Amino acid sequence: MPETCKLNLDGKEYELPVVTGTENEKAIDISKLRATTGYITLDDGFANTGSCQSSITYIDGEKGILRYRGYPVEQLAENCTFTEVAYLLIFGELPDEANRKNWWDLLTEHELLHEDMRHHFEGFPATAHPMAILSAMINANSCFYPHLMDLDDETFVDAAARIVSKVRTISAFAYRKSMGLPRIYPRPDYSYTANFLHMMFSLPNKDYDLRPEVVKALSELLILHADHEQNCSTSTVRMVGSAQANLFASVAAGVCALWGSLHGGANQQVLEMLQNIRECGESLDKVVERAKDKSDPFRLYGFGHRVYKNFDPRAKIIKKACDELLEVLHIDDPLLDIAKRLEEVALSDEYFIERKLYPNVDFYSGIILRAIGIPLNMFTVMFAIGRVPGWVAHWREVHTDPSGRIYRPRQVYQGENERSIAPLEKRGA
């Protein structure tokens, strides 16, 4: 017999079906609750609401588990490239040799932007935030490929490759625009991550020195950010996509959601915090004490996680990459020194240990990005580059669901009751 849940309302009993996921997650199906009872549920922030059934990413926050399509993220970071992980998320399986080559060829084919798009870059002021440019330019891409608005299986592959490939080109060009530097075009012989670094930091008369340790660290960082279940930006992509909005518009909406400081801006907040610590000159012991004082407005960013209650599995991977990178680069940076000492102090403090407030992925990713030379205003852009494959996968899941319909949450109205208004001449106006 199917499992059900009984609900008593107004003296009546209702049976609600229970849905069980492949990892034994259980959910009460309330999709017909309003139709049968007249009630809706209220769940501010959707913390206890499953908005969909998905087969892309699994998270167990209590056990510190993150898997893409069933593969532990630890194995993917160690054994795969970012483009392979992108293929896995979007199409459901790791590519074999033939699909790996075809996917590489497609990404290479679509890495350039339409030359007319240079006028769009020229129209932005030098002070424009790269995330604003990224969102606008992803959306503008749809104007140049109208045949990709109504997607079938074949054209979807082309559209997915275009958006995954072009996002790094747009991002690099946005940075060059902000710095007043000429655009550097991608090279077909470079890997995905190496090409991004090349477009970011090369000069017309001198190529950027692509150190393998830097390329590897950045590739791992992108893999760790590639998807994270139904977070704010992914839910936004699914919401917009449910209206049958095209892939470019839906991903552009995801960029806008990610831009928020409570979402994609966390690693930027870590570096800003380190800068403030340096400027105020307080000892790190004092900083940690302030973080433990609930009456002090100071916040220690980069520790703990809303979903992971014990440890963030991504943090373990990125910490190792961070340690290896800093050892190789021998960078003399006071902010990075503060970060390493802050990590040591917090990890040895009983307050943090008891509450499992370990450094999270945002803490280490900010350190890595600064060590590589990525400027602070590009931190969230780097997050977006990594997250695009996940967004594309979720958009496709929404569009291929035969029972799918437009997302439309309900609300509990708390405003004025019905009022009447007199004609203008009777109101003495």
The yes-or-no verdict on residue 429 having pLDDT over 70 is no
Q: Which CATH architecture has domain 71-259+378-399?
A: Orthogonal Bundle (1.10)
Report whether pLDDT(149) > 90: no
Q: Establish whether 60 is a catalytic residue.
A: no
**Options 120, 225, 228, 305, the catalytic residue:** 305
CATH 2.20.28 in the chain: give the residue spans. 4-50
Output the pLDDT for position 154: 79
Q: Is 305 a catalytic residue?
A: yes
- Stretch 239-245: mean pLDDT: 96
- Overall average pLDDT of the 343-371 stretch: 86
CATH fold group of domain 266-372: Cytochrome p450-Terp; domain 2 (1.10.230)
Considering the domain 4-50 in this protein, what is its CATH number? 2.20.28
Range(s) within the chain of domains with CATH label 1.10.230.10? 266-372
What are the residues whose beta carbons fall under 8 Å from the beta carbon of 378, sequence distance 6 or more? 130, 171, 175, 369
**Is it the case that residue 374 has pLDDT exceeding 80?**
yes
Instruction: Please state, for a pLDDT cut of 70, what percent of the chain lies above it.
Output: 100
Identify the active-site residue in 227, 362, 394, 399.
Answer: 362
Residues 158-215: pLDDT tens digits?
Answer: 999 999 999 999 999 999 998 989 999 999 999 999 999 999 999 999 999 999 999 9
Instruction: Indicate the pLDDT class of residue 234, thresholds 50, 70 and 90.
Output: very high
Share of the chain above pLDDT 90, in %: 70
- Quick: pLDDT tens for 4-55: 999 999 999 999 999 999 999 999 999 999 999 999 999 999 989 999 999 9
The residue written with tokens 């995954």 in the block is 164
pLDDT of 56 higher than 70: yes
For the entire predicted model, the pTM comes to: 0.93
pLDDT score of 222: 98
pLDDT tens, position by position, 252-311: 999 999 999 889 988 888 889 999 999 988 888 888 889 889 899 988 888 888 888 878
Per-chain mean pLDDT for the chain: 92
What are the residue ranges of CATH 1.10.580.10 in the chain? 71-259+378-399
